Amino acid sequence: VRRLADWPDGRLRELADEHGTPLYVIDPDRIRENADRLGTAFPEAEVSYALKANTNRAVLDTVEQCGLGAECASAGEVQRAIDAGFSGDRIRYTAVNPPARDLDHVVELARGHEFVTTIGALDTLDRLRDRDFAGHICVRVNPGVGAGHHAKVTTGDAPQFGIPYDRVPDVCTSIRTEMPAVDLVGLHAHAGSGISGDDLSAHRELVRRMAELGRQVGGLDFVAVGGGFGVPYDPEEPPLDLDAVAAATREAFDRCNAQLAIEPGRYLVADSGVLLTTVTAVKPTPETPVVGVDAGMTTLLRPALYGAVHEIHSLAPDGDARPSRSCLLAGPICETADVLDRNRSLPDPRYGDVLAVGNAGAYGYEMASQYNSRPRPAVVSLAGDRIARRETISDLTRLER
């Protein structure tokens, strides 16, 4: 695991000076290391990157060069994967309740690229038939077991995802008998996001159930058991023991002839990114000092949406010489939820200090918005390449007449 303390402070300060803040910094080398770690722990598995964690082109190029597959949640993500050079046989489209426009685009793309299209409802099957879809199909299973760091990202037991476990064998039989133009190649499920080492029971149960289904349905190329491998957001938390997860997975996947497939997002990219933000105001209040920063919930939504606590360090060059103070770190958005942390101890924050927020490579920029008419931040690589330019105020009205 790369902790926030392992990033080069001086280099991060230079990047903040040169590009301004808020600024996301991505280190592609770290993505490669994470991909290697996954490959070593799961040599028998097909590993696909869940694009939703971070779709920046530089990230996709790196993942593509590592030889991983692409798990895509929308037509837009499929298009991005194709643009980044992923071949069709490495792409899986796994949209939930796909809008008609999404299906139109995907069916068109699938003619040229032959990727796997997942159905999570019988409706989708009908709608694919209406569009004369011919190609590889995978069934999204609702496994009835969920896990995750927060109820909002626990998918395995939520009714909106997939075909109910018990109905899957029948659905597979009817696909095979009634749709000769399609080839049923796999099953797919995802328990949730943020599996931690202390509790592998839900993951184990999901894998066990999927393997059982794989045996029952038979004749499949792969059974995908989702992503969800957690990373430590709290620096005291030990990193996930991937070998233990792999061993538990392997044991539970017993006697399934299809290939095991996993699709991690966060694990590959979270610690490849930091967010840099500048202190814009320091205000004493009777309760606690309030420190205003230029990154808010429109830059990094996770604290406001999930109560996520990211590691935060001051990059102030003389930080070590300052007394530590506990403060409330608030962003620039007019919502009480716009708080990075309510009780964060930092070396006496001052106007202009740059702070670094750790594990910002996953679900950071990707969930950014323009709410309050705040332009989205820039993204640079640690080497200094601009990988997404900062939006300007005129970008805000680009789509309006």
Please identify every residue annotated as catalytic.
334
Smallest separation, CB 152 to ligand LLP (Å): 8
- Going along 94-225, which residue ranges are E strands? 116-119, 135-142, 163-164, 182-188, 222-224
Is 384 one of the annotated binding-site residues? no
Nearer to ligand LLP by C-beta: 156 or 292?
156
Beta-ladder partners of 354? 278
Smallest separation, CB 229 to ligand LLP (Å): 6
* Residue 125, phi then psi, degrees to nearest 5: -60, -45
Contact 190, 226 (CB under 8 A): yes
d(CA 155, CA 146): 6
**Cα torsion through 161, 167, 169, 172, rounded to 10:** -60
Assign 3-state DSSP to the chain and report helix, strand, coil percentages, each to 5: 35, 25, 40
Is 306 one of the annotated binding-site residues? yes
Nearer to ligand LLP by C-beta: 226 or 349?
226
Nearer to ligand LLP by C-beta: 278 or 359?
359
Smallest separation, CB 320 to ligand LLP (Å): 32
Nearer to ligand LLP by C-beta: 203 or 344?
203
Nearer to ligand LLP by C-beta: 274 or 315?
274
Smallest separation, CB 391 to ligand LLP (Å): 21
Token pair, residue 249, equals: 């997975």
d(CA 177, CA 124): 17
Is 363 one of the annotated binding-site residues? yes
Is 265 one of the annotated binding-site residues? yes
Strand (E) or helix (H) holding 37: helix 28-41
Token pair, residue 264, equals: 């991690």
* Residue 40, phi then psi, degrees to nearest 5: -70, -40
Is 264 one of the annotated binding-site residues? yes
* Residue 170, phi then psi, degrees to nearest 5: -65, -40
Strand (E) or helix (H) holding 102: helix 100-113
Smallest separation, CB 161 to ligand LLP (Å): 8
DSSP 195: B
Smallest separation, CB 245 to ligand LLP (Å): 12
Residues in touch with ligand LLP (CB under 6 A): 50, 52-53, 71, 94, 153, 155, 190, 193-194, 226-229, 263-267, 302, 306, 363
Is 14 one of the annotated binding-site residues? no
Is 266 one of the annotated binding-site residues? yes
Token pair, residue 370, equals: 């323009």
If you write DSSP's letter for every residue of 207-252 in order, what string do you get? HHHHHHHHHHH-S-SEEE----B---SSTTSPPP-HHHHHHHHHHH
**What is the β-pairing status of strands 386-388 and 378-381?**
antiparallel
Q: Which residues are annotated as a binding site?
A: 228, 263-266, 302, 306, 335, 363
Cite the annotated binding site for pyridoxal 5'-phosphate by residue number.
228, 263-266, 363
Write out the binding residues for substrate.
266, 302, 306, 335, 363
